[in-house]
Amino acid sequence: MMAQVTQTLKLEETRNLNSRFFDEGTREAGLAFESTKATSPPGQAEAAMKTLQELQNLHVSEQNAKRANLFSKLVTELRGLSDEAVSSLLPKLVEVSSPLTLQALMQCGQPQCYAHILQWLKSEKANPLLIDVVTYLVALLPGPSAQRLRDIFNTAKEQQSRATFYALSHVVNNCQGTDPAVTQDLLDIADYLSEQIRDDCTGNEDHTYLILRVIGNIGRTMEQLTPRLTSSVLKCIRSTKPSLLIQKAAIQALRKMEIQDEVREVLLQTFLDDASPGDKRLAAYLMLMRDPSQSDVSKITQLLPLEQNEQVKNFVASHIANILNSEELYVQNLKTLVKEALKNSQLPTVMDFKKFSRNYHFSKSLSLPPLDPVSAKIEGNLIFDPNNYLPKESMLKTTLTVFGFASADLFELGLEGKGFEPTLEAFFGKQGFFPDSVNKALYWVDGQVPDHVSKVLVDHFGYTKHDKREQDMVSGIMLTVEKLIKDLKSKEFPEARAYLHILGEELGFVSLRDLQLLGRLLLNGARTLQGIPQMIGEALKKGSKNDLFLHYIFMDNAFELPTGLGLQLQMSSTGVIAPGIHAGVKLEVAKTQAELVAKPSVSVEFVTHMSVVIPDFARSGVQMNTNFFHETGLEARLSLMARQLKLSIPAPNRPIKLFSGSNTLHLVSTTKTEAISSPPENRKSWSMCKPFFTGLSYCMGAYSNASSTGTSSYHLLARDTRFELELKPTGEVEQYSASATYELQREGEAFVDVLKFVTHAEGKYPEKDSSTSALSIRSRTQKENIFNLIYLINLY
C-alpha cells in the first residue's frame, strides 16, 4: 500500500513581541521522542452522544453486527474528551443508557473516565458494598490524577468504610507530589486523618484503629509534606487512655516513617517503661530496632538482664541473637552496633519456645563475582500471653535483597487475637464438647474399642469407662450440644485480626467480627432468595423482553513512531467483542400457554489505525475495520389444550446471518471518518441460494473490490471484502407447528390408545395446500397387545 499525504500550512498572523528575553517560561526536555495528546475536535461530545444513541437503538433495528464497531467508536470518542466535557456529558449519557455508559467508562482507560465511575455509582444509589469494591479497584490503577485522588478522598469521607480508606492510602502512595493541586489535596488528607485521631486516639476504637493502619500505609509519602501526622501519632503513643490495641496500632503506624530523634526517644521510653503492657513494649522495641542509635542499643542490652517480664526478656534476647547470626546484607550496620553494645554486657539465655515469646529468623546470602550479592530472609514473631498457654500475636515476613537495591519486603502476614481460651475450653476442656462426646461414645461402644485406642483417650482426656452413665445416645448428644451452646453464649466473644502486606503495602485487614457480618449478609440473602420464586412467577405472568449485551475490549495496543519530518506516526490496534441475547418469556396459566424468545448474537471487530498527527492542528490517516458476526434465534409458543400439546415457531421475517465477515477501509481526518469508496467497474461479487428447508433457503455471497487487475496479489489493505452465509425466508411459510394429540377410542369391546404427532408448515395463502406430515401410534389396551404405526406425509 502507498499513501501520499499533502498538507499546506499558512502562517496568517503572529503576535508582535518586544521582549529580548527568549528563555522565559522554558523547561528542560531531553531529545527523546515525546508523546503529545492532541485536543479533541469540535463536536466530539455531540458525536459521543449520537454514537451511544445508535448503540442503544440497535435492538430495534436488529443490526447487532454494528454493535462492536459502535462501542469501539464510543470509547475512542470518550478518550478524546477533556474532564470538563465528560462532566457535562455524563448525565446525558446515563439518561440514554446507564449500563452502556458504565461499560464504556470502565474501559476508557483515561483519568477523566475513571473519575466519573464513582459519580455514576453515587447517582444510581448503588449498593455501598459495590461502591467499596469499585473504589478499591480504581485506586489500584497506576498514574492517578488530581481529580481521581479528590474523588476517592470524598468517597472515603462519605462511606467511612475500610475498603475506601485503604483505597485512599493506595492512591496517595501512587501520587506524584509535583502537581500543586495534588500537593494541596495531600495536605487536606493529612489534616483530615489527624482530625480523626484527635484527643490522643480516644474516639471510636474501630474507626481509630482503621485510621492508624491507613496512616501506617502512607507514612513515607506524608512525612515529606508535613509533620502533622507524625506529631499526632506520637501523642497517641505517649497516652495511656486508649486501649492496648490502639496503642500498638499507633506504634505500628510509624513503620514507613523515618525514625528521627524525637520518634526514637518516644519509642525507647515506651520500651523501658516497666508499667506498660508487654505487647506495647515489644511493638516499640521492634519499631526502634529498624534504625537505632548506638546509645539505644547499649541501654537495651544493659537493662535486659534486669528485665522482670520474662516474655519481653526472652523475645528481645532471641531477636538480638538472631541479628548476630544473620547473613542479611543490610543488617551489617545493626550487627556492628549490637556487637559494640555487648562488649560490656551479656545476653540472657533464650528459654523454652513453647511457653515464652521468641523471634525466629533464617537468612542466607549468596555472592557471585560478576554480580551484586543476593540475600533472602524469613522472619517470624511469636508472642505469648504470660497468663495463658496460647500465643496472642504472630507474624511471618520474607525479605529479598537483589541487584544492589535496598532490601524489599515481599510479603508479611500477621495475626493477633485474644479471648480464645474460654471457647477452646468449651470445645476441648475436661468437661468440653469433644471429651464429653468421646466419653459417651466409649460407653455406647463398650467392648468394641481396642485397648490401645482406649489408652490414648484416657491419657489425653483423663476419662475411663467406669465414669460412664447409661443413657440414650440421641438424648446424650442433644444434651451435649445444648451445653456447648450455653457455654459459648456465656463466654466473651473472642477477638482476632489478620493483616497482609505485599511489597510493603498493606492491602487490608480482617477481623473475626467480619464473620458475623458475613453471616448476616448470607441470612439476608437467604431471605431474599425466598421471595425470588414469587417474583419470577409474577414476571412470567406479565411477560418480559429484554436485551443483555456485554461489550469487552480484549485487545488495545497503541504506539507512536517518529518520522523524518518530525511528525508523529500513530499506530493502534483494537479488538472488541460484543456477545449478547435478546430474550423474552411469557406464561399464561389460565390458557396453559407459554411464549419464549431467545435470539443470541455475537459481534467481533478489529480496528487497525494508522495516522500522521500534528498535535492540536491536524490528523490524517487510514483505518481498517474487520468485522465478524453471528446470530441465530428461536421464537416459540407452547400450548396445552383438549389433550393436545402444540409447539408453534413463527418463520423468520428477515434474513438470519449465520456468519458474516467484512473488511472496510476508512479515511480519517480531523473532523470526520469516512469510508473509502471504490469505482463500480472494479467491484466483483457472487451469490448463490439453495433450498434448505420448507420455506427457507441458505445463501452464500461474497463481494470484493478489485483495486487493480485480476492478476494482482490479494491484500486486505488493498480492497474491501465481504462474505455472508445466511438463512433467507422464501415467504411461502408463515409458521411451523408440531402437535401431539392423545385420544382414547373404542373399537368394538376394546379401548385403543391413539397418539398422533403432526407437523405442519402454514403458508400465507390459505387456499393453497401446505406441507404436512403425520405420525399415528395405536396401542390396544386389553389382553391383546397390538401396536400399529401409521405414518402419513403430504408435501405440496
What pLDDT does 769 receive? 47
**Same domain flag for 652 and 726:** yes
Task: Check pLDDT > 90 for residue 605.
Answer: yes
Can you tell me the distance from the alpha carbon of 439 to that of 462, in angstroms, rounded to the nearest whole number? 10
What pLDDT does 787 receive? 47
Q: What is the CATH number of the domain that holds 563?
A: 2.20.80.10
**Same domain flag for 660 and 760:** no
**Same domain flag for 476 and 614:** no
**Same domain flag for 456 and 553:** no
What pLDDT does 180 receive? 76
User: At residue 335, what is the residue type?
Assistant: K
Residue 367 is assigned to a structural domain of this protein: no
Residue 604 is assigned to a structural domain of this protein: yes
Residue 478 burial by Cβ neighbours in a 10 Å radius (0-12, 13-18, 19+): exposed
Grid cell at residue 125: 444509589
What's the DSSP call for residue 41?
P
Residue 603 burial by Cβ neighbours in a 10 Å radius (0-12, 13-18, 19+): buried
Residue 507 is assigned to a structural domain of this protein: no
Distant-in-sequence, close-in-space partners of 659: CB < 8 Å, separation ≥ 6: 628, 629, 630, 723, 724, 725
**Same domain flag for 695 and 748:** no
User: At residue 670, what is the residue type?
Assistant: T
**Same domain flag for 541 and 596:** yes
Task: For residue 651, count other CB atoms closer than 10 A to its CB.
Answer: 21
What pLDDT does 5 receive? 58
**Same domain flag for 467 and 551:** no
pLDDT category of residue 148 using cuts at 50, 70 and 90: confident
pLDDT category of residue 601 using cuts at 50, 70 and 90: very high
Distant-in-sequence, close-in-space partners of 126: CB < 8 Å, separation ≥ 6: none
Determine what percent of the chain is predicted with pLDDT higher than 70: 75
Can you tell me the distance from the alpha carbon of 31 to that of 11, in angstroms, rounded to the nearest whole number? 27
Task: Check pLDDT > 80 for residue 40.
Answer: no
| Nearest residue to 386 (alpha-carbon basis) of 360, 355, 414 | 355
Report CA torsion sign: 416, 418, 421, 422. Answer: negative
**Same domain flag for 546 and 652:** yes
Name the pTM for this structure.
0.68
**Same domain flag for 729 and 746:** no
Residue 644 is assigned to a structural domain of this protein: yes
Better-predicted residue by pLDDT, 115 or 609: 609
**Same domain flag for 589 and 473:** no
Residue 783 is assigned to a structural domain of this protein: yes
Can you tell me the distance from the alpha carbon of 193 to that of 212, in angstroms, rounded to the nearest whole number? 9
Residue 643 is assigned to a structural domain of this protein: yes
Distant-in-sequence, close-in-space partners of 86: CB < 8 Å, separation ≥ 6: 78, 112, 113, 116
Residue 646 is assigned to a structural domain of this protein: yes
**Same domain flag for 553 and 685:** yes
Beta-ladder partners of 638: 594, 647
**Same domain flag for 597 and 744:** no
What pLDDT does 153 receive? 92
Half-sphere exposure of 610 (CA within 13 A, CB side): 9
Residue 573 is assigned to a structural domain of this protein: yes
Measure the N-to-C terminal CA separation of the chain; round to a whole number of Å: 56
Grid cell at residue 374: 543476593
Better-predicted residue by pLDDT, 565 or 62: 62
Can you tell me the distance from the alpha carbon of 372 to that of 366, in angstroms, rounded to the nearest whole number? 9
Task: Check pLDDT > 70 for residue 624.
Answer: yes
Task: Check pLDDT > 80 for residue 784.
Answer: no
User: Mind listing the pLDDT tens digit for each residue in 340-366?
Assistant: 988 877 888 877 777 888 999 898 888
**Structural domain tally of the chain?**
3
- Mean pLDDT lowest among 91-95, 381-385, 440-444, 626-630: 440-444
What pLDDT does 780 receive? 56
Domain interval for residue 746: 737-794
Distant-in-sequence, close-in-space partners of 299: CB < 8 Å, separation ≥ 6: 268, 272
